[in-house]
Amino acid sequence: MSIHIVQEGDSLWAISQLYGVPTQSIINVNRLIPNSMIIPGLALYIPDQTLPIRSKIILPGDSIWKIAQQYNTNVNLILLANPSINPNNLYIGQKINIPSSQKLTMQTLGFIIPFNPNSFISVLKQIAHNLTYLAVVSYSFTKEGFAYLTLDDTQIIAESKRLKVIPLLMIRNYADQKFSPQLIGQVLENPIYRQNLIKSIMNFIKKKGYRGVSIDFEFIPPPQRNNFSKFLHELKQALGSFILHVNVHAKTEDIPTNRIIGAYDYKAISDAADIVAVMTIDYGYPTGPPNPVAPIWWMEEVIRYSIRLIKPQKLQMALPLYGYDWRNIDNSTNAISLLGAQNLAISKGAVINYDLHAATPWYNYWIEQEKHTVWFDDIRSYSEKYKLIDQYHLLGTTYWQLSLPFPQNWAYVEQNFNITKR
């Protein structure tokens, strides 16, 4: 695969000639609007036959020759992919790119809120081979801990199983269209209510045919930290061979009194769960100042902290299938799909900039006199962030959420990774 960053004066025809790929293939894989212009800074995924790029952090005893043997490639290809390195002076902690036919193997999980199951099923058919798990966001619970259905999940479960994607029941402490600290707090503090929740989750799993559960409890009151860990251990005991997947807010240090991250005891959660997904998203958040949604420097800090307490082989990071569009005068914010962010930039004739430190694109545009700033991700930034999985030997990644189109990603995943099907 290749990624081409559009320069002033580029044309699709010239790009197609450069890579030997038909123009229509480039249009299709990047879902470009027919007859639209291309703009400087636009990242185009080029579906050519170049080798996937692996990534490694140099360890004691590593040499270019040993790495070439390990990744079934050759020294010259590694040197071409890393023109700035001195092969005779590698240093511990150095990162290198490795062209290799030996693809990275990982497990992926996509979230779906089944507002319109019929429209999503067509999407699922296209991307199912790129997914290990599908977390169906259809459940909440009462103040006494009884789980209940919020959106019909019947069709989604059936199609997921037919396509050999493992369906997980996703449950959230959701009430009145938002996460409720009070709801989860009063359930966790009461042993009877905790058991009610466990039993009702198990009932739905068995009745509906799920293969496990994905927990997304947010803004848990910090005093319930130990009870949350206890709940997860009790839930896993009830689940047995069913999968316990737990989503946790991202952090780079433990602050037990913090209202957002305080209740997450990473070590205790890791001991209970089969998979832990750290939500390395929303660094830039709605109504806050314009910022990258998932800057790579922050993601790496979170991962490096997390693997001290969570086994890397059960850790997933998170990637956003959305960006944010800020109105600068008051920071009012709208979420936008990554394809939508790309096409908005094209329609406005914006120049897409790229923050190297964050490995994230952004642009400005105006509605009359109102300035807007959009931070989003493209295939260039995703390709860099995927390297974190390889560098730190993580289980894989999650995607929030699958109804948001980003066609370049699915073409990239198909060409560059082996997705494990449990």
CATH number of the domain that 86 lies in? 3.10.350.10
Same domain, yes or no: 62 and 175 = no
Whether residue 257 is found in the same domain as residue 323: yes
Domain boundary among 99, 134, 167: 99
Task: Tell me what the mean pLDDT of segment 8-34 comes to.
Answer: 95
pLDDT for 129 equals 97
**pLDDT tens digits for range 301-315:** 999 999 999 999 999
pLDDT tens per residue, range 67-104: 999 999 999 999 999 999 999 999 999 999 999 999 99
Distance between CA atoms of 386 and 394, rounded to whole angstroms? 10
d(CA 135, CA 113): 9
| DSSP structure class, residue 245 | E
Indicate yes or no: pTM above 0.85: yes
**pLDDT over threshold 90, residue 275:** yes
- Tell me: pLDDT of 422 over 90: no
Distances (CA, A) of 72 to 58, 69, 77, 419: 17, 5, 11, 19
Q: What is the pLDDT of residue 34?
A: 84
Q: Are residues 88 and 229 in the same domain?
A: no
- For residue 50, what pLDDT band results from cuts at 50, 70 and 90? very high
The yes-or-no verdict on residue 61 having pLDDT over 90 is: yes
pLDDT at 117: 87
Amino acid 162: pLDDT? 97
* pLDDT mean across residues, the chain: 97
Confidence of residue 36 (pLDDT cuts 50, 70, 90): confident
Between CA 260 and CA 34 the distance in angstroms is 44
Q: Tell me: do 7 and 83 sit in the same domain.
A: no
| pLDDT level of residue 181 (50, 70, 90 thresholds) | very high
Do residue 31 and residue 91 come from a single domain? no
Instruction: Please state the domain count of the chain.
Output: 3
Are 37 and 90 part of one and the same domain? no
pLDDT tens for 141-156 read: 999 999 999 999 999 9
Give the DSSP per-residue string, 116-138.
Answer: SHHHHHHHHHHHGGG-SEEEEEE
DSSP-assigned letter for residue 313: G
Write the pLDDT tens digit of every residue in 283-300: 999 999 999 999 999 999
- Domain range for 74: 55-99
Residues 142, 90 within the same domain: no
Altogether, the residues listed in the chain come to a count of 422
Mean pLDDT over residues 400-417, rounded? 97
Judge if 317 and 367 occupy the same domain: yes
In the prediction, which pLDDT does 180 show? 98
Amino acid 31: pLDDT: 96
- pLDDT for the residue numbered 79: 97
One domain for residues 130 and 62: no
Task: Give pLDDT, residue 417.
Answer: 98
- Which residue carries 């004691």 as its tokens? 60
Q: What is the CATH number of the domain that holds 296?
A: 3.20.20.80
Q: What is the mean pLDDT of residues 378-403?
A: 98
Instruction: Categorize the per-residue pLDDT at 35 as very low, low, confident or very high, splitting at 50, 70 and 90.
Output: confident
Residue 1 has pLDDT above 90, yes or no: no
**3-state SS, residue 227:** helix
Same domain, 164 and 211: yes
DSSP 8-state symbol, 175? E
CB 366 within 8 A of CB 372: yes
Decide if pLDDT at 118 tops 90.
no
In this structure, are 314 and 414 located in the same domain? yes
Same domain for 364 and 411: yes
Domain endpoint, select from 99, 132, 161:
99
